[in-house]
Amino acid sequence: MNLTNLSLRFNGFDIASAKRKLEALKREVATDSAQYYIKRRSQILEFHLKNNSFYRNLVAGNPTGWDSLPVLTKADLQKPLEERLSEGFSKRNSHVHKTSGSSGNPFIFAKDKYCHALTWASIQNLYLLAGVNLNTSYEARFYGIPQGGMPFYKERLKDVLSNRYRFSIFDASDQNFEKFINRFKHVKFGHLNGYTSTLVLFAHYLRSKNLILKQICPSLTHCIVTAEILLKDDKLLLEQQFGVPVLNEYGSSETGVIAFGKAENPLKIDTALLYVEILDDQNKPVPNGTSGKIVITSLFNKAHPFIRYQIGDLGVINRDEDNNTILTHLDGRIGDFAILPNGKKVPALAFYYVTKTVIEDSGNVKEFIINQNKPNKFTIKYVADIAFKEFQLAKIEKALKTYLNQEIEFDIVRQPFLDRSNRGKLRQFKRDF
């Protein structure tokens, strides 16, 4: 048993029992997934209606069916945790955590200890099926970290107990990347795991130095990206410069890993612990293969209700040939679209992709973000070794105006670095109105 499992056991999370339970749950799903969801949804709903006054008040009456239940949003949860916990649960006997806040709506939540153990058992299982053994593979973790004081040392201790080393991603200088490379020369890392934008930035630096990370650190086997959209060109860059296969993790701190698999392939959803729905703007289910709001139900969290919880993203689910529920596409975050002067909405992901394609023609840009200040005004902030020349700025503006088919003003501003959330995530598009 590795340090992670020992730490979980020490803190009251029965990981051994959770692993046995998870295997039993997976057999239930494989036997009859429809009946499994009816049973598990009913159990968690009944529990929270009986034991959680916050959720009982939110439902406000007797629901007529699953589809009549309210959709829980992040705004609903921005109140003291004590007001949202179920009877018999407290901060002392639960796992308490905080969302990253990258969505703009941070809040504190809780999981009961057995649910947290189940989550970890599932994460370990999903990774193992993809070829990553968390018991033996030393993780190079590209995440944010507190900048000092006791929170910094707590994170470092957690990393030691979790068999990983954290690379601070707030310093994207050449000097810091050289320090990264030096550590890979001397440490037998098994896999990389981190925010997409930071791993892409590191890969760009490796390419500029004509380096392949696998050649520097032969023990590497995989790269896992998470928290941000992975575009096709970035996947190819990661594969080339890291020299290992790329896996894609989609999840949230509130629910754990939602879906996992090879990058660019459909991601297999964690059907044993989570029930995933895709809803339209009126909170009605959409057919498989149709994009909509991703809504999650945590089937085993008794400490805190996450029933029909709107995660904040848009996506598509479907069934594969083995009748597994799969996530076939992520369309970005809810509300991430540009609104043009004529009222037309442009999806932020498509808008970002077109901009990225044009900007990267220079081979010079490390990363960039787009900010829509008002319907006819955009600011593009970028990080590059050399500032754009006038003809390059004109090329970018022309391409964007052609794509948008309207007269739009652009400010294109070079910066030494881009602001990230306090956890290191990069919000690639933002609309100010």
Q: Are residues 315 and 426 in the same domain?
A: no
Q: What is the pLDDT of residue 1?
A: 44
How many domains, the chain?
A: 2
Identify the domain containing residue 342 by its residue range. Answer: 337-431
Q: Are residues 289 and 351 in the same domain?
A: no
Percent of the chain with pLDDT over 90: 58
DSSP 290: -
Query: Is the separation of the CB atoms in 381 and 413 below 8 Å?
Result: yes
Q: Measure CA 314 to chain center.
A: 12
Could you tell me the pLDDT band of residue 354, with boundaries at 50, 70 and 90?
A: confident
Query: Which has the minimum average pLDDT: 53-57, 284-288, 312-316, 353-357?
Result: 353-357
Q: Are residues 217 and 258 in the same domain?
A: yes
Q: Are residues 196 and 345 in the same domain?
A: no
**Average pLDDT in the chain:** 89
- Between 231 and 183, the more confident residue is 183
DSSP 304-357: S--SSEEEEEEEEEEE-TT--EEEEEEEEETT-EEE-TTS-EEEHHHHHHHHHH
Confidence check: pLDDT of 149 > 90: no
Domain boundary among 280, 301, 333: 333
Q: What is the pLDDT of residue 423?
A: 65
CB atoms near residue 195 (< 10 Å): 23
Q: What is the pLDDT of residue 361?
A: 62
What average pLDDT score do residues 227-233 get? 85
DSSP 66: G
The helix-helix angle for 196-208 and 232-242 (nearest 10°) equals 50
Beta strands in 26-151 (DSSP E): 94-98, 108-112, 139-143
Could you tell me the pLDDT band of residue 106, with boundaries at 50, 70 and 90?
A: low
Query: Which has the minimum average pLDDT: 8-17, 239-248, 333-342?
Result: 8-17
Q: Are residues 312 and 344 in the same domain?
A: no
Beta bridge partners of 345: 339
Q: What is the pLDDT of residue 69?
A: 97
Domain boundary among 277, 306, 333: 333
What average pLDDT score do residues 6-19 get? 74
CATH number, domain containing residue 246 = 3.40.50.12780
Q: Are residues 354 and 311 in the same domain?
A: no
Please give the angle made by the CA atoms of 243, 244 and 249, to the nearest 5 degrees.
135
Could you tell me the pLDDT band of residue 346, with boundaries at 50, 70 and 90?
A: confident
First to last CA, the chain: 51
Of 353, 349, 321, nearest to 337 by C-alpha is 349
Confidence check: pLDDT of 417 > 90: no
DSSP 374-401: ETTEEEEEEEESSPPPHHHHHHHHHHHH
CA distance linking residue 37 with residue 284, whole number of Å: 18
Q: Are residues 259 and 370 in the same domain?
A: no
Q: Measure CA 225 to chain center.
A: 9
pTM of this prediction exceeds 0.75: yes
Size of the chain, expressed as the number of residues it contains: 433
Q: Are residues 172 and 306 in the same domain?
A: yes
Q: Are residues 172 and 73 in the same domain?
A: yes
Confidence check: pLDDT of 215 > 70: yes
Q: What is the pLDDT of residue 178?
A: 96
Q: Are residues 357 and 299 in the same domain?
A: no
Query: Is the separation of the CB atoms in 284 and 94 below 8 Å?
Result: no
Q: Are residues 170 and 93 in the same domain?
A: yes
Q: Are residues 329 and 402 in the same domain?
A: no
Q: What is the pLDDT of residue 404?
A: 82
CATH number, domain containing residue 345 = 3.30.300.30
Domain boundary among 291, 307, 333: 333
The DSSP H or E segment spanning 113 is helix 113-129
